[in-house]
Structure 1
Amino acid sequence: KDGENTAALDQVSGRPLTPTEKSQRSQLIARINEKGFDNVMEEAAYTWFNRFTALRYMEVNGYLPTRIKVFSNESDEFKPEILSQALDVEIEGLDKSYIVDLIDAQDNETLYKYLLIAQCNALNKGLPELFEQIGGWTELLFPRNLLREDSVIARMVKDIPQQDWQDQVQIIGWLYQYYNSEPKDKVFANLKKNIKISKDDIPAATQLFTPDWIVRYMVENSLGRLWAEGHGKIDSADWKYYLEEAQQEESVKAELEKLRAEYAQIKPEQIKFLDPCMGSGHILVYAFDLLMSIYTQQGWSERDAAVSIITKNLYGLDIDRRAYQLAYFSLMMKARQYNRRLLSLSAEGACTPNLANFQDIGRFSTDMLTGEIAQLAGQFENCDTYGSLIDVQEIQGLDEAIDEFHGVIGFNAQQLERMMQLYKILSQRYDVVCTNPPYMGGS
């Protein structure tokens, strides 16, 4: 943190830097100058923790395209198959001669780093929101000593029973809450010292993993009720927390009959379900399960239903990019459970979840914007503080303005695309809105 952060250095601690390392180091210093040392180190630490958690989940459930485990072996011991079978790994871009050189030199640390980064980059096509292309400064901060018996991945294998990872994608949310526990404690300790909660601290202060029974209670009595009132309760569904309709007055009964007649016309693919504060996606994942039982009752195959649920039924928002990434991963893994081709469909752009977060827009300036684009951007000022509380207004002529927009100083086309995704989710109507809203206390 207080070292000689000069981009022009040729060596560090007496070791000469390669041209690639020099470039990566320059990027790292530029990022530190922009965001601050602590923020960049936290970003790097979390990015790798996130990727390792996802890789462990995928290897246990057999979802890695290579079918070669990255942390364990067939006996689920901390003996990475990807290392012992390095010459058999088929990942695009691997240099087999370089692998042979590393094996001959018995440089397992460098070989393991090379293989893990290649595996993460290969997953970018099917899961682009979680496995962003690795290069530059994040590669420079790849964790060291991962093959030690007390490393973070060794503990993921040895300390968490394998069955806890099997088809329980909510483990992603549990680990995120664990990861957030220290920042959360720090935020509330600062409050006692009269240090206010900043917008950057809101996610750590407010995000809690909603317990399973509460999620089931909410979803069964909202989405489940909507379907049951029009089509009857699904016999095969395990709705432990569903409440039967209470005795009602005649006038209420008449209104309910109208609703039931309306709901009887709805098809599974027409239902829109929103969680506006989705966190790591626990509510959306259970809604997926319930929707799957609805679809299959209506004669859909599980494979086709999985894609339809992801692309047509479920919508989610969060203020925090990290939570968004986890919700995205959780939903994709839930769908992969039913459709083996899901990652390939995602790579082709045929299966993308309707999820978004408010941090992805980044900082922007409205100074150079005019007309409809300026009206749109004006509605999203401070969106990384207010999140889904924003009330968006319809803008006439917006589609035409977007077609003609190519970016200006302080606001680019990618920011506009992300803003439009948020605008779409915030502006449409839903059959069910179900959430556990974030809160910090009564005062």
Structure 2
Amino acid sequence: MNKSAIQKFAVWARTTLMEQVAQRAYQYGIIKDGYGDANAVTVNGKALSTQEQGQRRELVREIQSKGYDQVIEEVAYTWFNRFIALRYMEVNNYLPSHIRVFSNAQGEFDPEILKEALHMDLPGLDQSQVAEHIEKNETEALYRYLLLTQCNALNEGLPKMFEKMGGYTELLFPNNILRPDSVLGHMVSDIPEEDWTDQVQIIGWLYQYYNTQLKAETFDLLKKNVKITKERIPSATQLFTPDWIVRYMVENSLGRLVIDNLNYDIWAESEKAKIDLLKAKWNYYVEEAEQDPDVDTELRIFSHNKYARGDKLPFVDTTFFDPCMGSGHVLVYAFDVFMDIYTSQGWNPRDAAQRIVEKNLYGLDIDKRAAQLAYFAVMMKARQYDRRFLTRGIQPNLYSPGSYADGQEYGSLLVVDELEPKPEAPEEFTLFDADYEDQLNSWNFRRLLSQEYDVVVTNPPYMAVSNGNAALNKYIKKNYPDSKGDLFAAFIERCWKYSSQYLAMITQHSWMFLSSFEKLRTKLLLSTDIVNMAHLGARAFEEIGGEVVQTTSFVLRMGYHEGYRGTYCRLVEPTTQQGKEDMFLGGESRHIAVQTNFFKIPGSPIAYWISRTLLSIFSENKNVGQLSQPRQGSTLGDNASFLRFWFEIREKGTKWFNCMKGGEYRRWYGNILYVLDWENNGAHIKSTGRATIRSENMLFREGITWSNITSGKSSFRYMPEGFFFESTGSVCFIDQELLNYLLGFLNSPITDKINYIINPTLHLQSGDIAKIPLIISNDKLSDISYSVSENITFSRIDWDSNETSWDFKRHPLV
């Protein structure tokens, strides 16, 4: 798949479509600054038809409700979605007419539908109107009419993708669409046809790339302290999950559910060969780790009780849910796995496709655009197995909030305690049918929120809650206090509640280690088994570079079994998406860890790679926090006003005082560059109201300091008396007799290994230092302290030999 071409087209298409939609609005007297008379019958001297008058009034009402920019955005993406859906259907010969709407048989931008207009059987097509356009040589108008009619005809089979035309969306249909440089022309010519052939995931890539500029705009606004609105959350957080990770999650949750039924004697012995064939097909399925006999027995009893249902085969009514379905990538592969299971049991693929859509798959998304595409992707999957599927009136359980205000704000995080009765359908269809459809959609959205599911699999949004709007921030703090730091963490907790049997997700890996997620971690460790994990680290998504976004994908089984052993695939070393996949498939770097051992480490991090020796160090020694006082530094709120380099001032002591502020990797001594305005005990800083002064009673005392942000190994330094310490240069205070010994221990290789267990992120906080177990060797304490003292002296001489040191006199070699 040529993703470069797909991205280039999608980004360009968004800009072009928005310009063209705005131009159409302008032709009807509607601009960003106003729209004149909402009931106008003429615009710029042109008389409007009755239909155009109604469409224009509807457009004005939408602008009054949502704003001009939002309406233009929505119309542009509506046409984009329809165009790419039609293109996918024509390439795969899924259009009922089997006549191409954009290209000819050779794949060129030369719409076959124009040549067949007089002979094609298309519902709603008025041949007299076709003949009139042909007679007047109105090729552009004819093509517009044919496309609109084709979209209307598809409404019967795909109503959520091709909504009934006639409203303002039709009014704003772009001009000049037959030109080779039009959106349609570039869509046909720029993206190879083979990329559309039986590859419904192209829809997801187009959706992600279409949002590229909107995503960049959103983060630019965030840098200006403009919070992310509910309308922008989808574009800011949507990320197409790599295909192999989707396969890993689905095979090890949905696939494992079926295999559980076999392993614990629910299926007959004759089924084992079929299951072996399924496992051979599922390349990303990870066999469960060998368990101790007691645990294995407990698992057999547990699974037998949970899955033994004599009234039905286990897969027939298995419910699979993606609460953040995006463009449907996870659901589409779940469809494939369900199909594997059904056909292995002798089901006809046509019947299986109907059952999967009606009874097995469920999905929600806060973004209507994404929900439309997910809906389309699942329907195309069913069409792949049943050529008449679109005529059967079957619709999937996939929804967006519609006009449901709370759903728009909180999405699948919304808690629905009790579902109200289903809205009653009107006895007769009226002009207000759309209102009923919207009510029904909102009710279905809440219905899915109110249910439990056998299997839940998703890639949730990653966004610090503090970056969201006030309403979202407040709701999450109230309803998800153990996971309130980030949306992905709140979704872990919500999905844990949704799931009755298996949960699989890909999230940022910080929940595994950070103290802010300790309660969430504990909750999961005491209520689920971590069956397996693919710890991905940085660069799991080829679209995201750098070390900031580090991820993990994991599979949880509901129910806790003490002593359970999970399989952990450590994939943090490869620096490419492909490299991680290759390492996973090669079975490299796999660890078996007893889940209960995590509780032996302070904070219970998911440190699956820890050796028995290191584990014993944690259990047999006091930690640094019990023997010292690690303290976070102060936040000034306005560094530019109160911090200076020492060489920017004349003298220290009355107004300006030494300030420790982290710095580059350096051990033992140094990084002494800054001074702070602390005149009158910091009266000026405190008066601003923006500063947070921490541990004021410990300021200017001797201690050990380090940089809070690290890019690799940590480094610790001696800090003499007389220093203020800022937030990026935290300090650990300890009795004089242990100060040098502790400094030596912190700078030893063992501490780097321990730090990585406690918190393998870029930030080393005072709370992390407090958890480090301190091995005190009394017989070596004196020798080690003396050696550290020498190291401090040598490092100080080295530091003072540079002109950046306050105590520089001259270089020793001069």
TM-score, normalised relative to structure 1: 0.88
Opposite residue 162 of structure 1, the aligned amino acid is E
- Are 1:68 and 2:99 an aligned pair? yes
Q: 1:220 touches 1:241 (CA, 8 Å); kept in 2?
A: yes
Aligned residues of 1:109 and 1:145 also touching (Cα < 8 A): yes
Counterpart code for 2:447: K
- Give the letter aligned to residue 300 of structure 2: E
- Deviation larger for 187-196 or 11-20: 11-20
**Residue 176 of structure 1 pairs with residue 201 of structure 2:** no
Match for residue 454 of structure 2?
Answer: 431
Given the superposition, is the C-alpha separation of residues 73 and 414 from structure 1 closer, same or farther in structure 2, using an over 3 Å criterion? closer
Q: Secondary structure at the match of 1:434?
A: strand
Q: Which of the numbers 410, 413, 416 marks the counterpart of 1:392?
A: 416
1:395-410 equivalent positions in 2, closer than 5 A: 398-399=420-421
Maintained 8 Å contact 1:234/1:294: no
Residues 228 and 234 in structure 1, CA contact (< 8 A), matched pair in contact too: no
Partner SS, residue 361 of structure 1: coil
Letter of the aligned partner of 1:326 in structure 2?
L
Q: Verify: 1:249 aligned to 2:289, yes or no.
A: no
SS of equivalent to 1:87: coil
Give CA-to-partner distance per residue, 1:26-82, whole Å, 9 cap, x none: 222222222211111111111100100100000011110111110001111100011
1:244-269 deviation per Cα after TM superposition (whole angstroms, max 9, x unaligned): 11121122211222355354654321
Shift of 1:414: 4.4
Matched, 1:328 2:371: no
Kindly state the Cα deviation for residue 403 of structure 1 after the two structures are TM-superposed.
5.9
Contact 1:77 1:158 in 2 (8 A): yes
Residue 427 of structure 1, CA deviation: 2.3
Structure 1 position 219 matched with structure 2 position 219: no
Amino acid across the alignment from 1:322:
R
Question: Contact (CA 8 Å) 1:170, 1:282: kept in 2 or not?
Answer: yes
Provide the C-alpha distance between the structure 2 equivalents of 1:426 and 1:246, rounded to a whole number of angstroms. Answer: 34
- CA apart distance, 1:177: 0.4
- Please tell me whether residue 258 in structure 1 is matched to residue 301 in structure 2: yes
Cα distance change, pair 4–256 in 1 and its aligned pair in 2 (3 A): closer
What amino acid is the match of 2:364?
L
User: Secondary structure in 2 aligned to 1:121?
Assistant: helix
- Given that 2:320 and 2:455 are in contact with CA atoms closer than 8 Å, whether structure 1 keeps it comes out as yes
Opposite residue 387 of structure 2, the aligned amino acid is R
Name the counterpart of 2:541.
Answer: none
**1:133-144 map, 5 Å:** 133-144=164-175
For each residue in 1:101-135, what CA deviation from the matched residue of structure 2 results, as whole angstroms up to 9, or x when unmatched? 11121111000000000000000010001100011
- Indicate the RMSD between aligned Cα atoms, in angstroms: 2.2
Deviations 1:290-317 (A, max 9, x none): 0000000000000000000001111111
Match for residue 421 of structure 1 among 428, 444, 469: 444
For the pair 1:111 / 2:154, whether they are aligned, the reply is no
More strand per residue:
2
1:126 corresponds in structure 2 to 157
Q: Which residue of 1 aligns with 2:365?
A: 318
CA distance in 1, matches of 2:70, 2:424: 36
2:245 matches 1:198: no
Question: What's the CA shift string for 1:156-203, capped at 9, x where partnerless?
Answer: 111111111111111111000011111111110000011111111111
Deviation of 1:433 after TM superposition, in Å, equals 0.8
Contact 1:10 1:22 in 2 (8 A): yes
CA distance in structure 1 between the aligned counterparts of 2:229 and 2:255, rounded to whole angstroms: 38
Q: What are the equivalent positions in structure 2 for 1:151-170 lying under 5 Å apart?
A: 151-170=182-201
* Aligned equivalent of 1:361: 403
Per the alignment, residue 643 of structure 2 pairs with none
Partner Cα separation in structure 2 for residue 92 and residue 52 of structure 1:
19
Identity of aligned residues (%): 55
Corresponding position of 1:34: 65
Q: Decide whether the 8 Å contact of 2:258 with 2:314 is kept in 1.
A: no
Between the aligned partners of 2:56 and 2:442, the Cα distance in structure 1 is 32
Task: Tell me which amino acid in the other structure corresponds to 2:294.
Answer: S
**1:55-94 residue pairs with structure 2 within 5 A?**
55-94=86-125
1:102 and 2:104 equivalent?
no
Q: Normalized against structure 2, the TM-score is what?
A: 0.49
Question: How far apart, CA to CA, are the structure 1 residues paired with 2:205 and 2:140?
Answer: 29
Unaligned 5+ segments in structure 1 are 364-381, 407-411
Corresponding residue to 1:299 among 346, 350, 366: 346
Once residues 97 and 38 of structure 1 are traced to their aligned partners in structure 2, the CA distance between those partners, rounded to angstroms, is: 38
Is residue 270 of structure 1 aligned with residue 317 of structure 2? yes
Q: Secondary structure at the match of 2:409?
A: helix
Structure 2, unmatched stretches of 5+, are 1-30, 263-271, 428-434, 465-484, 487-814
Residues 408-440 of structure 1: CA deviation (Å, up to 9, x unaligned):
xxxx65454233312322222221111111112
Quick check: 2:178–2:185 contact (8 Å CA) kept in 1? yes
Deviation at 1:17, TM superposition (A): 2.9
Question: Match for 1:120: what amino acid?
Answer: C
Q: Please report how far the alpha carbon of residue 11 of structure 1 lies from its aligned counterpart in structure 2 after TM superposition.
A: 3.9
Deviates more, 1:300-309 or 1:315-324: 315-324
Q: Distance in 1 between matches of 2:103 and 2:159?
A: 24
Q: Aligned partner of 1:30: which letter?
A: R
| Paired residue type of 2:259 | A
| Kept after mapping to 1: 8 A contact 2:404/2:442 | no
Change (3 A) 1:402 1:25: closer
Shift of the 94–193 alpha-carbon distance from structure 1 to 2, 3 Å rule, reads same
Q: Given the superposition, is the C-alpha separation of residues 238 and 32 from structure 1 closer, same or farther in structure 2, using an over 3 Å criterion?
A: same
Alignment partners' CA distance in 1, 2:124 and 2:424: 36
- Between Structure 1 and Structure 2, the one with more helix by share is 1
Q: What CA distance in whole angstroms lies between the structure 1 residues aligned with 2:158 and 2:281?
A: 31
Query: What one-letter code is carried by the residue in structure 1 that aligns with 2:378?
Result: L
Structure 1 or 2, whichever has the larger Rg, is: 2
Distance in structure 1 (CA, Å) of the matches to 2:79 and 2:438: 25
Q: 8 Å contact 1:315–1:355 — kept in the other structure?
A: yes
Count, aligned residues: 413
1:230 equivalent to 2:272? Answer no
Is the contact made by 2:364 and 2:398 (CA closer than 8 Å) also made in structure 1?
yes
